[in-house]
Chain A
Amino acid sequence: MAIQKILFASLLICSLIQSSHGAEKERLFSELEKGSLEVTTKPSREGAGVVLDAGIDKISITWKLSSTGSKKEAEFKTIKVKLCYAPPSQVDRPWRKTHDELFKDKTCPHKIVARPYDKTTQSIDWILERDIPTGTYFVRAYAVDEHDHEVAFGQSTNEAKTTSLFSVQAISGRHKSLDIASVCFSVFSVLALLVFFVNEKRKAKIEQSK
């Protein structure tokens, strides 16, 4: 049995390995060209202390080649726009940590859109998706070449990731119908137990009195 389990596990693992990474291992974020793209964000509601609601509010994102141009512009094939965690949302949460190795980096897990590179200004009106967690965010656009490797990027905030951030409040995931179902099943469980118990005690008493 032990052998079977180990074999099964290793078969599974080997097949997973086939489908995973290639030479991306050593590519570093610090090697990417900075500021090649100008990215701006405009949340649908703005102001001090405004928190956007996931699933409801929108962000208007625009990106274009930066005014200073880019040495690597010829390699740009696709632009991948992603939603990224700002430092306050990464505290005490190692699964959101920023790593220099691109394949390890967890700063920008949420994909917004991927479009072919165009010299003209691109924009999108993006509704915050319902699985976006509560946190503080900015937007980053990666310029990706034909091998699907990042070569450059631009982001809506400064290098220290302190400006132009926006806050999002996640959906709770709770529903009234779920709450009601939960209560119903709980009550059923307790009642069923009590009914059985009382019933059996009654039967035992009847038997004893016979």
Chain B
Amino acid sequence: MENGFSSPRNESFPAGLRVLVVDDDPTWLKILEKMLKKCSYDVTTCHLARDALTLLRERKDGYDIVISDVNMPDMDGFKLLEHVGLEMDLPVIMMSVDGETSKVMKGVQHGACDYLLKPIRMKELRNIWQHVFRKKIHEIRDIESHDSMDVLQMSINGSDLSDDGYMFGEDLNSGRKRKDYENKNDDKDFGDHSSPKKHRVVWSVDLHQKFVKAVNQIGFDNNIGHELHWTSTTFLPLRLISPFISTQQQLDLMRHIRLLQHWLLISPIFKLMAVKDLWNEAAACFIFPSNGAMTYSVCLAEVGPKKILDLMNVPWLTRENVASHLQKYRLYLSRLQKEPDSKALGGTKHSDLTPKDPAASFALQSSINLNQSDAANSYQFCGSNFLGQDVDIKHLEGDVKGIVSETKRTLTADVTSPLKTKNSQSFSHSFVHEAEVNYSAFDSTSWSENPEQEHKPLLQLEDGYSQLSPHGPHHIHNDQLQADPSISSVISLTGRDISGSIEIKPLYTEYKSKHVSHVSPAESVVDTIPVQPKSHPVIHQSFEPISTAILSMKSQGLSCITDIESCQRNLILASDTNFAAFNEDLTVWLPGDCYSMTFGQNFDFTEYNNDPGFMAELPFHLYDTFSDYHLDATECPIVDQGLFIA
């Protein structure tokens, strides 16, 4: 759907609002049609849910809102709700003569933006345009706040945070914690940060937003391949490229991604590949393998501090400030890229992960299975997540879905992408940060591989899911504590799944036993998280808290898709406590318990959290997912505030 309210189908919005009404009761259908016509809306009626879906699919941008009854013979209203949210990312209003709280709650959980009781009053219908409007606003907001979140993440993870006096908002407790740990362990990782201690620049939310705006502006201006076209390349997490593309493009991309996720869910023939982006260039595209080359690509050009400074127009800011901030931002982005992998890696233990932990499964799956042809599995997995229903992530196997359906997915996707890029075609230059790439690849596979094997995942891109070289032994790799990020990312991905607590547990345990304290970040980490687990990962798996927290994705399921972004974001935000733990642990998002881990993380899991990711929310709330893992865009928490640096 295009920017509805900005594109005036009619100047006199909400008149002309395109409503699709679905109800098996012919009497109600006729009444509603008449009522909506009286509101000057453009009404289309449907007797059957499947007809409605067909209509919606045929005319992608043909409707603004859907009103559907809950009890229908051919398809459960909630199911329809999920589909609509997932595929079309439209607001859906449920109706029923039954006002039972549990039913209403179910509706909300599945992403309904409202629940009307029959008999329905005219005034209730007159107001439905607000849902359309609100959704648009949220999408835009998510897109924008997404940037902040990312940055925030970066700040949190950067080892020089303390130096620069970065501070995080309340919701970034975990970030803080992580920061502490990181400070101790990570200095070497962030060698490239050049913020001078002497001169504290406080990157407030506003300032950062100005920064991102400038970056975007430049990126946009310099952008060569800006048009979103379909190519067969790899996939980058939307969050990485979103700063560089316009809002409309982001919305389109998100929708595409959501759709992609949905397809992945329903069809095992698609594979999602990821490619790493470069510092200076971000390329994002995703692929539909083989058959139809539905890929999406966006290229960005380089941005430099001087230009950013000029655009920002903040008198007291120096070029050095911007340069260092830019560096961090890049680190953040790169970390985001890697993290998906690492998170995914965490998934190697997916066997351990109990399916019931959707979040976990996603994470793991994505990382692990990407390579495998678990596609089927993953698809399954995704599917369930997508539907938000109870995210039953069976296992991350091929969590492709996770990637898809969850905002996080994108993260993982990213991770692998670097790897892939190597092999893939399009971004030959994208391996600029190969190290990072490896790192990220590593991350994802870290769980399962040894540092030396880092490169393996890369190679695997070919298949599309190199992300984590799942094939590797699933053992936790010491050096690659980096896996944490992946885990976190993984988790964040799964965040979507509110129902499941991430069961990363097994991973950690294993991790613990295997690599108790050996962390040699140096090799693998390019700049990412120095895996130095200071202490044994005690992370005991209780990812649960995190997953739940993070995942506040709300079971929105489909609607989540839209919220997926938000979910992602929320993921991060939600699990503040978790985050903290996470940082330490390196890998996994682990729930609050993670605090005990001290691995180093630098993984910015905040990022992940905030990273709406490509999740679709199932629903193609792409944006939502990006911004917060909440499935519900409206629910995205805090993300924006994250950036505050005191």
Q: Are these two chains actual partners, yes or no?
A: no
Binding site for B on A (CB under 8 A): none
B residues with a Cβ closer than 8 A to A are: none
